Structure 1
């Protein structure tokens, strides 16, 4: 269902966008000077309108992606800290388990008549 809905919405939008870009092939200089439109101090070379539109689209996508990446900075830092803490806890648990194993083997060797004790384990 999701694929069909995606296709029904986006395929016509993409077709219209391609037709618009193909129809607007005239050369257009972009003026960045609002005070002198006849002789602008800041203007771009004359390029097809589709080039400017696609350039602005790609620029918008890049800026949006950069903003999204920057907004996740704190989450990524927290995840890094959690991974470090988890590694340290696993290392500590492994050391504790090794110590318990050696203690168990030492106590079993010294007093074989002693029954094994139940141990509480946590996950």
Structure 2
């Protein structure tokens, strides 16, 4: 419940700002890949500015997600190893419990 409220409190203002930016920046902007010949029509693309802003936002989100995912790889590997180790210990504990249950009670030699 709290996560949903926090998400609404953060996402709604961001959405309003993005919509306002999109409406305000409808004019075409030229994006050129060739820095030495900016007028080259083969390497220049024209689109509304908000398209370039959203494209930059999406590319940033994807790249940031990939970097975070790759940096957390060692933690995922450690979690997998510990999960396997815990499963092995559970199996050993079950095996030991069944062995002690099947062994007859011998009198102690005190």
TM-score, length basis structure 2: 0.78
**1:40 Cα offset (Å):** 5.5
Alpha-carbon displacement from aligned partner over 1:77-109 (angstroms, at most 9, x marks no partner)? 000000000000000010001001111xx236x
Which sections of structure 1, spanning at least 5 residues, go unmatched? 109-113, 116-123
Q: Return the structure number with greater relative CO, CA threshold 8 A, min gap 6.
A: 2
Larger-gyration structure (1/2) = 1
Distance 1:29 1:47 in 2: 7
Which sections of structure 2, spanning at least 5 residues, go unmatched? none
Distance 1:20 1:60 in 2: 18
Q: Secondary structure at the match of 1:29?
A: strand
Query: Which residue of the partner structure matches residue 38 of structure 1?
Result: 39
CA RMSD of aligned residues (A): 2.6
Query: Which residue of the partner structure matches residue 74 of structure 1?
Result: 74
Higher strand share: 2
Distance 1:31 1:64 in 2: 24
Distance 2:54 2:78 in 1: 37
Q: In the comparison of the two structures, how many residue pairs are matched? A: 105
Higher helix share: 2
Distance 2:74 2:56 in 1: 29
Q: Where in structure 2 are the equivalents of 1:22-37 lying within 5 Å? A: 22-37=23-38
